[in-house]
Chains A and B, each alone.
Chain A
Amino acid sequence: MAKYVMNRLFAMVITLWIIVTITFFLMHAVPGSPFNQERNTSEAVQQNLEAHYHLNEPVFIQYAIYIKSLATLDFGPSIKQSSTSVNEMIGRGFPVSAELGITSLIIAIISGIVLGIMAALRHNGAIDYMAMTFAVIGISVPNFIMATLLIQQLAVTWEIFPVATWASPMHMILPSIALATGPMAIIARLTRSSMIEVLNQDYIMTARAKGMTTFQIVTKHALRNALLPVITILGTLVAGVLTGSFVIEKIFAIPGMGKYFINGINDRDYPVIMGTTVFYSAFLIMMLFIVDIAYGILDPRIKLHKRGE
């Protein structure tokens, strides 16, 4: 176990380094300097600006400087908004994004599992078909369309919820639901299929023969085993929620990290794009790692050091 964790940590550092390197050189492959689109600046100002951001150095020196600052968790300054650093943007945006992401994940996991169980218990029944139609629709409708429909119906026409921004718990409901539908549908389908498989096992029949109620069987015996496949895709779902949050944050004008990332893209603010990408990647790689470890602990049948062979 310890050896596996060490190996994985090492691989994570390598992956992260590769991401940093790819991101860095991609950003430097873009023709032109970030100051080209600015108002006419004099030659001297231009040179001073470039010197300040080390843009006059050779690429490899810049790369070394960037790696060095990353090692001390410094993502550098934003070029377009010179008063804020990328660290400040992450510090401000990440808590908001995390709040949105965690709320959506909780909604997605709980409603997805419940839907999946209901469908599995009534396999091939009306509830099953309804739940699965709902799930397929949830997968098929892109989240920005879902978000717009929710705003249009619930916020504008019926005026139940506020249209946008991030001020009170009421503001959180619509964006969280819009972000949760996709993952919820995936979880529901996965729970259903693994639940159907588990419910056909002999030990479930034994439990039934003992006279346990369906509720007891599901909660005590079936669910634990049925949820294992769901745990394996949690890492991917976190990635989905994360990229989905760019869109949702834009639509609902939520001041999260996605907003800074998208502004960075629109402004071609390379330090911001690099910083947020590296941060997002590090976060995702960490999540995948945690999910893998959790899976190994929850399912003793999996021998961690044997995986990946």
Chain B
Amino acid sequence: MIPERKETNQNLSDHLFLPLENSSYHAETIAKPSISYWKDAWMRLSRNKLSMAGLVMLILLVLMAIFGPLLTPYSYDHQVLTEGNLPPSSEHWFGTDNLGRDMFTRTWNGARISLFVGFMAAIIDFIIGVAYGGFSGYKGGRTDNFMMRIIEILYGLPYLLMVILLMVVMGPGLFTIIIALTVTGWVGMARIVRGQVLQLKNAEHVLASRTFGASAGRVIRKNLLPNTMGPIIVQMTLTVPTAIFAEAFLSFLGLGVQAPVASWGVMANDGLSVILSGHWWRLFFPAFFISLTMFAFNVLGDGLQDALDPKLRK
């Protein structure tokens, strides 16, 4: 934008000085190309260096989760008992664990599990939360009242305690973790969506576009959805690290995924028990990548919150 203005300043073209045709049509012409909500949000996000660093880190982490295990000749459950607890070397980049399994392969395999749990939890929360909250808010009245009562009660339940209970009942495993995390997890999303829809339903800009004869589809696309998507995306970026953290927490209590598959939480928990014997790499790598992922999601979430909230526009 700025260089363009400079150019016109230097050689003002003649057409700028031609009188406009005197009609109401031209009076309403918008001269600049319109910047969409998402373009605007992206512009503000890309100015936030920390958030961009978070985004880059996440992309790298996801790429490594996909391709990392392919970079070594080992498989995550291949045991070489004679090569147990080797420190990091050119052969085993992150060392080996007590059963001689390559830590580099296991770390990125663990990344798959941990990220899968995080993303699945966020996606399922999103689907249930948007459907429930959207319906409740859009319907309003008695339906809304009733549905919100249920939410209020569910919201009062201590999240991690309920997750632990569900895990005790369902038994440890990857899918039971995702179910346990989402059974109570969607409530937060539903509250946010419902609040947004309720607020927007009667907002002046929605009323205005209805008055101008906008179809229901256009109202939803142009008015309701973009204004709701911001908080939804922020909530999702915060759900992923919460889920990853909860998974690590469950692994710590012995309720995580079962061997030989290992998530970062399980690996960190294994590493904790041998930290005093000096095998630092067994804790360091999973712990480092859990922290890095949480860090990346947190800074990205912060940046998105600023970028997507039109009220914070400077």
- Name the contact of A15 in the complex, choosing from B157, B252, B255, B299 (C-beta under 8 A): B157
Chain A residues with Cβ below 8 Å from B272 are 144, 148, 251
| Known A-B contacts A145-B291, A265-B253; A26 and B156 likewise in contact (beta carbons under 8 Å) | no
Chain A residues with Cβ below 8 Å from B159 are 239
| Known A-B contacts A247-B249, A308-B152; A144 and B169 likewise in contact (beta carbons under 8 Å) | no
- Name the contact of A26 in the complex, choosing from B165, B245, B295 (C-beta under 8 A): B165
A251 to B249, CA, bound (A): 13
- Name the contact of B245 in the complex, choosing from A142, A268, A281 (C-beta under 8 A): A142
Closest A residue to B244 by beta carbon equals A142
In the complex, whether B161 has a CB less than 8 A from a CB of chain A is yes
Chain B residues with Cβ below 8 Å from A298 are none
- Name the contact of A243 in the complex, choosing from B160, B287, B291 (C-beta under 8 A): B160
| Known A-B contacts A27-B169, A148-B275, A262-B253; A139 and B158 likewise in contact (beta carbons under 8 Å) | no
Chain B residues with Cβ below 8 Å from A140 are 241, 291-292, 294-295, 298
Interface of B is mostly: helix
In the complex, whether B173 has a CB less than 8 A from a CB of chain A is no
Query: In B127-155, which residues have CB < 8 Å from any A CB?
Result: 152-153
- Name the contact of A18 in the complex, choosing from B153, B169, B248 (C-beta under 8 A): B153
In the complex, whether B276 has a CB less than 8 A from a CB of chain A is yes
In the complex, whether B243 has a CB less than 8 A from a CB of chain A is no
A98 to B139, CA, bound (A): 45
Q: What is the minimal beta-carbon distance from B136 to any residue of chain A, in angstroms?
A: 14
A60 to B245, CA, bound (A): 37
| Known A-B contacts A141-B291, A247-B252; A26 and B268 likewise in contact (beta carbons under 8 Å) | no
Report yes or no: B254 in contact with A266, Cβ–Cβ below 8 A.
yes
Query: In A11-35, which residues have CB < 8 Å from any B CB?
Result: 11-12, 14-15, 18-19, 22-23, 26-27, 29-30
In the complex, whether B189 has a CB less than 8 A from a CB of chain A is no
Chain A residues with Cβ below 8 Å from B295 are 136-137, 140
Closest B residue to A182 by beta carbon equals B245
Report yes or no: B287 in contact with A280, Cβ–Cβ below 8 A.
no
Closest A residue to B283 by beta carbon equals A148
A277 to B169, CA, bound (A): 14
In the complex, whether B164 has a CB less than 8 A from a CB of chain A is yes
Chain B residues with Cβ below 8 Å from A137 are 291, 295
In the complex, whether A102 has a CB less than 8 A from a CB of chain B is no
A145 to B295, CA, bound (A): 14
Count chain A CB atoms within 10 A of each CB in B156, B283, B291, B292 and give the residue with the most.
B156
In the complex, whether A284 has a CB less than 8 A from a CB of chain B is yes
Report yes or no: B164 in contact with A265, Cβ–Cβ below 8 A.
yes
Chain B residues with Cβ below 8 Å from A15 are 153, 156-157
Chain B residues with Cβ below 8 Å from A142 are 245, 248-249, 268, 287, 290-291, 294
Chain B residues with Cβ below 8 Å from A268 are 168
Closest A residue to B163 by beta carbon equals A243
Report yes or no: B249 in contact with A145, Cβ–Cβ below 8 A.
no
A246 to B158, CA, bound (A): 14
Count chain B CB atoms within 10 A of each CB in A15, A29, A151, A156 and give the residue with the most.
A15
- Name the contact of B161 in the complex, choosing from A14, A27, A266, A280 (C-beta under 8 A): A280
Chain B residues with Cβ below 8 Å from A281 are 157-158, 161
Chain A residues with Cβ below 8 Å from B168 are 26-27, 30, 265, 268, 273
A151 to B283, CA, bound (A): 13
Report yes or no: A273 in contact with B165, Cβ–Cβ below 8 A.
yes
In the complex, whether B166 has a CB less than 8 A from a CB of chain A is yes
Chain A residues with Cβ below 8 Å from B299 are 136
Q: What is the minimal beta-carbon distance from B118 to any residue of chain A, in angstroms?
A: 14
A246 to B163, CA, bound (A): 14
Report yes or no: A26 in contact with B158, Cβ–Cβ below 8 A.
no
Chain A residues with Cβ below 8 Å from B158 are 239, 242-243, 280-281, 284
Report yes or no: B152 in contact with A19, Cβ–Cβ below 8 A.
no
In the complex, whether A223 has a CB less than 8 A from a CB of chain B is no
Query: In A44-64, which residues have CB < 8 Å from any B CB?
Result: none
Chain B residues with Cβ below 8 Å from A141 are 287, 291, 294
Count chain A CB atoms within 10 A of each CB in B161, B255, B276 and give the residue with the most.
B161
**B 251-262 to A, binary, CB cutoff 8 A, 1 in contact else 0:** 011110000000
10 contacts between A and B (CB under 8 A): A11-B152, A15-B153, A137-B291, A141-B294, A144-B268, A145-B268, A151-B275, A156-B276, A243-B158, A277-B165
- Residues in A lying within 8 Å of B, measured CB to CB: 11-12, 14-15, 18-19, 22-23, 26-27, 29-30, 136-137, 139-142, 144-145, 148, 151-152, 156, 239, 242-243, 246-247, 250-251, 262, 265-266, 268, 273, 277, 280-281, 284-285, 288, 308
- Residues in B lying within 8 Å of A, measured CB to CB: 152-153, 156-162, 164-166, 168-169, 241, 245, 248-249, 252-255, 268-269, 272, 275-276, 283, 287, 290-292, 294-295, 298-299
With A140-B291, A243-B158, A251-B272 known, 16 other A-B pairs at CB within 8 A are A11-B152, A18-B153, A136-B298, A140-B294, A141-B291, A142-B249, A145-B287, A148-B275, A239-B159, A246-B253, A265-B164, A273-B168, A277-B161, A281-B158, A285-B156, A288-B156
